[in-house]
Amino acid sequence: MEATLRIHTERTPNPDSVKWVVGQAILEGARPLEFGPGTGSEESPLAARLVEISGVSRVLLGQDQLTVSKTPEADWRALGQTISQAIRDWAASGLPALGPAYEPPVSAPDDEVEARIRQILESEVAPYVEQDGGQISLVSFKDGVVEVALRGACVGCPSSMVTLKLGVEARLREEIPEVEAVVAV
């Protein structure tokens, strides 16, 4: 399998995050999941391999891609080959991306407005954010303010706040009059 695995990288708008496109499924049907320091192999064999690499701060696993974020002082030239090899080693191992100790987050049921917000975020906004190696998800809606979590390449991205205000907030306000503002938490 290792000989046929095709991996290539793509830049993201965030200079501290790079997207690795892997020639096989990583997460099937799941929304992207983020992992950071302290992730164990029982939770995610793939993420654990990557966050153990010196200079890697976070990993966002997707369906057939993953986004690796580095610490500001780390250099991509030094990290790139090590990260690619860790991905190849994981693929060759045959282990799943998620281990037996992984537990999906529990979310409360949405009210009608939250359901409409979540639908727009998931169907219209998330696909574009994921193309750039990031993730956006609804945290809450209260008193006209939509709180979203940004992950992957979106964290620390110089253009994420512009995208949030001019793109996400504008789109939600257009469709849902109850929305007054969108903020990242």
Domain extent listing, the chain: 7-93, 112-184
pLDDT, residue 59, reads: 96
pLDDT for residue 56: 97
CB neighbours of 84 closer than 8 A, spacing ≥ 6? 7, 20
Instruction: Yes or no: say if 12 and 151 are a contact pair by the CB < 8 Å rule.
Output: no
Please give the CATH topology (third level) of the domain spanning 7-93.
Ribosomal Protein S8; Chain: A, domain 1 (3.30.1370)
Which CATH code fits 112-184? 3.30.300.130
Dist. CA 12–CA 9, nearest whole Å: 10
What SS3 class is residue 163? helix
Cβ atoms < 10 Å from Cβ of 178: 15
**In angstroms, rounded to a whole number, what is the distance separating the alpha carbons of residues 68 and 50?**
8
Q: At 61, phi and psi to the nearest 5?
A: -90, 135
Q: Decide if 47 contacts 97 (C-beta within 8 A).
A: yes
With a cut of 90, say whether residue 132 has pLDDT above it: no
pTM: 0.76
7-93 and 112-184 have identical folds = no
Mean pLDDT of 2-20: 86
